[in-house]
């Protein structure tokens, strides 16, 4: 519950930042920005899953092709009380997985060939249960809305920088020699996208902890996912997903760029060690 409240709070802060930047352009600019955001939302809502799957050349597999995987997904979906999602395979040595889709009726679980080869059945159950929790909690939709607002904030902030630089914003202040007003606008325009990024990452991290907890309950044993994460941490370092798009990294169960982040602060995932620790503490 605490993580859910944190998510809603951060989304509210993100929206407030958006409104503050839009206010510099007046009512007309704000309306234009909102229309732009709604268009982005529409495309993301209905087509984001297809775009991501195509990006990684994922292929849907039928039950007669992989009855083993379909059995696991069907069993766990029944426990999670959600419709059985479609299963897609990504031909990659990188052991990883993600879920996508706007709701539980249009959901997909995508698995790499690497993760299927690396994990045993119980560990695979832990991973799939984690992804089913994301579907059940509508995490993909939340991530899409956040990304849309953050993208609009970045766009407006950059535009604000240019306008302030050329004196198009608050010209009266400039004529009066009040450079502090323009400086404040520039500083806000620079810091707002950074704040948006940090909020996005915080939301992503909190949802990962919730998905780990839910996955542990659905699979029936927290150690299934904990053991899987240990293997995945090693596997991703050995076979990083070189063709991964940074914009989609938060979808994967482990960061596809694991071990290559400049700062932990800017990782889309919580530290794997902390995730494993929390899962192990669930059995105490």
Tens-digit pLDDT string for the chain (284 aa):
555 666 667 667 767 777 777 777 777 777 776 676 667 667 766 777 888 899 899 999 999 999 999 999 999 999 999 999 999 999 999 999 999 887 889 999 999 999 999 999 999 999 999 999 999 988 877 766 676 677 667 777 777 777 766 665 555 554 554 566 667 677 777 777 777 677 777 777 888 999 999 999 999 999 999 999 999 999 999 998 877 667 677 889 998 875 544 445 556 788 999 999 999 999 86
Instruction: Give catalytic residues, as residue numbers.
Output: 131
User: Where is 126: in which H helix or E strand?
Assistant: helix 121-136
Q: Which residues pair with 98 in a beta bridge?
A: 110, 252
Q: In which residue are the tokens 């929790």 written?
A: 133
End-to-end CA distance of the chain: 21
The strand order across the sheet containing 59-60 reads 59-60, 86-90, 108-112, 97-100
Handedness of CA 113, 274, 256, 77 (dihedral sign): positive
R_g of the chain computed on alpha carbons: 21
Are the C-beta atoms of 232 and 255 separated by less than 8 Å?
A: no
- The DSSP secondary structure of 134-172, one letter per residue, reads HHHTTHHHHHHHHHHHHHHHHHHHHHHHHHHHTT-S-HH
Q: In which residue are the tokens 């997985």 written?
A: 97
pTM assigned to the model: 0.78
What residues does each domain of the chain span? Answer: 2-281
Are the C-beta atoms of 206 and 268 separated by less than 8 Å?
A: no
User: Where is 282: in which H helix or E strand?
Assistant: none
Side-chain half-sphere CA neighbours of 84 within 13 A: 13
Token pair belonging to 81: 């009380």
């Amino acid at each position: 519950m605490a993580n859910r409240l944190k998510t809603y709070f951060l989304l509210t802060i993100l929206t407030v930042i958006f409104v503050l930047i839009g206010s510099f352009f007046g009512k007309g600019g704000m309306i234009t920005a909102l229309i732009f955001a709604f268009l982005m939302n529409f495309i993301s809502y209905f087509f984001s899953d297809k775009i991501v799957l195509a990006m990684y050349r994922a292929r849907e597999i039928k039950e007669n092709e992989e009855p083993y995987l379909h059995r696991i997904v069907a069993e766990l979906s029944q426990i999670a009380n959600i419709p059985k999602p479609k299963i897609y395979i990504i031909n990659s040595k990188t052991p990883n997985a993600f879920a996508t889709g706007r709701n539980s009726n249009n959901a997909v679980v995508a698995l790499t060939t690497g993760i299927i080869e690396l994990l045993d059945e119980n560990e695979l159950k832990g991973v799939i249960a984690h992804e089913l929790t994301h579907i059940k909690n509508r995490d993909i939709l939340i991530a899409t809305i956040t990304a849309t607002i953050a993208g609009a904030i970045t766009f407006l902030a950059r535009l604000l920088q240019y306008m302030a630089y050329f004196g198009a914003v608050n010209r009266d202040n400039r004529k009066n020699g009040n450079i502090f007003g323009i400086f404040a606008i520039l500083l806000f325009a620079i810091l707002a996208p950074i704040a948006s990024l940090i909020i996005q990452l915080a939301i992503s991290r909190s949802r990962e902890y919730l998905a780990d907890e839910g996955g542990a309950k659905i699979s029936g044993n927290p150690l299934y996912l904990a053991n899987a994460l240990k293997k995945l941490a090693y596997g991703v370092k050995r076979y990083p997903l070189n063709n991964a798009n940074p914009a989609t990294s938060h979808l994967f169960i482990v960061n596809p760029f694991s071990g290559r982040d400049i700062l932990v602060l800017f990782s889309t995932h919580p530290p794997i060690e902390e995730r494993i620790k929390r899962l192990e503490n669930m059995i105490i």
